[in-house]
Amino acid sequence: MKIYIYYGGRGLIDDPTLYVINKMEEVFQELHVTVERFNLYELKNNITTLPQTIKEADGIVLATTVEWFGIGGYMQQFLDACWLYGDKEKISKTYMCPIVMSTTYGEREGKLNLANAWEILGGRPCSGICGYISDTSIFEDNDEYIKIIEKKAENMYRTINQKMASFPASNQAVKKMVSITKNTDLTPQESEQLSRYASDDSYVRRQKEDIQELTSLFRDMMGNGESEEGEEEYIRDFQTHFVPQPGFKAVYKIQIEGKKRPLIIEINGAENNYYYGNASSCDVEIRMKKETMDDIIFSRMTFQRAFMGGAMKMKGDFRILRTLDQIFVFMGKTI
């Protein structure tokens, strides 16, 4: 038989809960039970993975201390993790003994909360222990208290060994009617990582940009065999207004809004080539709306003014961008 103890206190020397679970461990060991303790305050960074350990246990002890209000954050985190990531089928066959000692007020409520939480998870609660202990020396001076602890440990052993049945709890019926638990294939670590990413604005922005690029890529792949309407648009305009610059060589990629593929302009001295498609490499990448391109073609704007005014975005060498207004002179073009 295996019994695991999950301690949700802070590990203080005078914590009465530690005295109780130490005494229970002694009784379990005398009964040849394998006992393992998990101190949640030491494992706070891995609490979300601890529910997986329940799979190996026949019974568990949830032990915590009420220091001012409630069962404490570590124990609440553990119960949350059991709800989100625990094996509900295994939990439904696992007995749980709640141990709540208080140095203030609220030990009965704490014990009841642990029992209710375990029942809602589908588990089987055993009779537990709760009490107000202002000083652990009280245990040393009272053999009756020690007998109570030992008796509870023996009763838990007997309950697990005999697999005692219990009446159905009403909170189980309510949970079936109103609770919606979403199944997830993510591990606790992956869920936490996604939570961090979701709160990172720059990461979310990059992901949206990547999705847009992938969408554009797949759209291009799907339309590869189709001829694009207006595929020759602007090409004749560039051809007829080309002014060669000796020794100048560059490749421009112009993505015009509404076009499936970018316009590629390849310049090598007096040679020039234009097509809609993809280039293996380019010196300048440009993005603009169709209205902006029309303004440039009809002499209402230059490439440099469009960039300076924010109507056009570019990436690459700015000197090569400025040369566009020298090798393509649209002055005098009419509609």
CA distance 256 to 264: 11
- pLDDT above 90 coverage of the chain, percent: 52
Give the per-residue pLDDT at 169. Answer: 73
Write out pLDDT tens, residues 251-279: 999 999 988 889 999 999 989 999 998 88
170-178 vs 107-121: helix crossing angle, rounded to 10: 60
Angle of CA points 87, 93, 96, to nearest 5°: 95
Q: Are strands 263-268 and 249-256 parallel, antiparallel or unpaired?
A: antiparallel
Asked whether the predicted pLDDT for residue 225 surpasses 70, the reply is no
Whether 176 shows a pLDDT value over 90: the answer reads no
Mean pLDDT in the chain?
85
Highest CATH level, class, for 235-327: alpha beta
Mean pLDDT computed over 90-119: 93
Per mean pLDDT, which range of 58-67, 80-89, 176-185, 242-251 is the poorest? 176-185
pLDDT given at position 195? 57
Contacts of 236 (CB under 8 A, 6+ apart): none
User: How far from chain centre, in Å, is Cα 314?
Assistant: 34
Residue 57 in this model has a pLDDT that exceeds 50: yes
How far is 131 from 102, CA to CA, in rounded Å?
Answer: 6
Lowest mean pLDDT across 177-191, 195-209, 243-257, 301-315: 177-191
- The architecture (CATH level 2) of 2-178 comes to 3-Layer(aba) Sandwich (3.40)
For range 147-153, the mean pLDDT: 94
Residue 15 burial (C-beta neighbours within 10 Å; 0-12, 13-18, 19+): buried
Residue 151 has pLDDT above 50, yes or no: yes
In the prediction, which pLDDT does 186 show? 58
pLDDT of residue 226: 43
